[in-house]
Amino acid sequence: MPVSLLQIRRVEGAIRVDFVEKNILDEGNLHQIEQEIRTAIDAEKHPRVLICFKNVEHMSSAALGTLLALKDSIEKKGGELRLSSIDRRIYEMFVITKLNRLFSIHESVEQAAASFTTK
């Protein structure tokens, strides 16, 4: 069993995900990250997922693809995905690729948590 790359916990009825690694790049790591989050999602009827990027310094287009796949799975279950605390340079990657239009992105975890519409 590989060492977890994430800290996943329940906070006020939502699944809160924090990254342990500061670089979210490697495909092997991305696959593991995706599986860890999917395991948490699978246990929920309507998953509310908040991914905090506070510790993340570098990302790749492969990581953006993983986030899109997770968003799709969460929404197919009637759940919601929120992203928060994204470094301004990484946020620029979302703007360049126009993915800031697809994701619900918030400055803080508190704002992200307050934005869930389902209870």
Partner 1 sequence: MNAAQDNLRIERKFFGLRPGLEELQEEFAAALRRFGYDEAAAFAIRLAIEEAVVNAHRHGNKGDAAKCVHFRSSISPKQIDIEVIDEGAGFDPGAVPDPTREENLDIPSGRGVMLMHAYMTDVEYIAPGNHLRMSYLKRA
Residues that bind partner 1 (CB under 8 A): 25-28, 58, 60-62, 64-65, 68, 72, 89, 93, 96-99, 101-102
Q: How many C-alpha atoms does 22 have within 13 Å on its Cβ side?
A: 3
Cβ 20 to partner 1, closest distance in Å?
16
Nearest-approach distance from CB 115 to partner 1, in angstroms: 21
Helices (runs of H) and strands (runs of E) counted in the chain: 4, 7
| Cα–Cα distances in angstroms (integers) from residue 31 to residues 23, 65, 67, 75, 78, in the given order | 14, 11, 11, 20, 23
Closest to 54 (Cα-Cα) out of 108, 104, 100:
108
For residues 39 and 61, which CB has a smaller minimum distance to partner 1 in the complex?
Answer: 61
**Nearer Cβ to partner 1 (16/29):** 29
Nearer to partner 1, 37 or 113 (CB): 37
Min separation Cβ 89 and partner 1, Å = 5
- Least distance in Å: CB of 91 to partner 1? 12
Question: Helix, strand, or coil here: 103?
Answer: coil
